Amino acid sequence: MLDPGHNPTNYLHTKEINRLVGIGTNRKACDTTGTETDSGYAEASYTLDVSRRVRALLTARGAKVVLTQDGDRPYGPCVDERARIGNQAHADAALSIHADGAPAADRGFHVIAPKSLHAGAADTRAIAAPSLRLATTLRAHFKDATGEPFADYLGGGKGLMVRGDLGGLNLSIVPKAFIECGNMRNSQDAAELTDPKWRQRAALGIADGLTAFLEGSSQGSAGGKR
């Protein structure tokens, strides 16, 4: 299951996306508009484009791919529904695709895995370990394919974080991760994110990471032998 972050027309539905929904541990907004580059290239456009590219690559390899949205919804879906789509599909792996909106001086990508928690409607204890393996495998293959550095502004520069405050991860019952492919506010990252050729490399890195995870094979050069 691929989850293209946000939605290109969320900005037209602020009332709907500001509605609070349960994320297991507490309540948060249904969705947000996402960020954009200084030139106005929206995160939601990036995530949808890359998700479609990943789908094409994985489908050609024989995978069945479900998207949470394919530009076919006026807004959202909400973060709780995004998790539910992956759960109901009994996905072997799920990935939320995003790009960050950090300060302009910050650069790089990072991958997020769910924290092992049991609170309210959230119970990630069974998926925490495989999700961390998914995240580290994705991190290695994405770096190999794109050359993008690990984020220098969080996670100790390791390109990996474990969090318990993201509804799409908290409510998942299948192995799931979340990738921030770069910082849209950084000029170097923005030049890459807006380049179709680089987006194809990003899609290849994601597809290779998901394939390696599903096949149980070794990680890329950033985390071990291929």
pLDDT score recorded for residue 217 = 62
Length of the chain: 226
Q: What is d(CA 107, CA 182) in angstroms, rounded to the nearest whole number?
A: 7
Percent of the chain with pLDDT over 70: 96
Model pLDDT for residues 26-61, shown as the tens digit of each residue: 999 999 999 999 999 999 999 999 999 999 999 999
In 16-135 the beta strands, taken as DSSP E runs, fall at 20-22, 27-29, 94-100, 110-114, 118-119, 122-123
Q: What is d(CA 148, CA 137) in angstroms, rounded to the nearest whole number?
A: 15
Annotated catalytic residue within 36, 43, 148, 180: 180
Omega within 30 of 0 (cis) for the link into 114: no
Q: What is d(CA 86, CA 107) in angstroms, rounded to the nearest whole number?
A: 30
Q: Which fold has domain 2-215?
A: Aminopeptidase (3.40.630)
pLDDT score recorded for residue 158 = 97
What would the mean pLDDT of 113-124 be, rounded to a whole number?
96
| Residue 48 · residue 99 · CB < 8 Å | no
pLDDT score recorded for residue 224 = 35
Confidence of residue 146 (pLDDT cuts 50, 70, 90): very high
- DSSP letter assigned to residue 149: P
What would the mean pLDDT of 170-198 be, rounded to a whole number?
98
Q: What is d(CA 51, CA 48) in angstroms, rounded to the nearest whole number?
A: 5
pTM: 0.94
Active site residue 81: no
pLDDT score recorded for residue 222 = 40
Angle between helices 43-60 and 196-215 (to 10 degrees): 50
Cα distances from 131 to residues 36, 57, 125, in angstroms, run 28, 22, 10
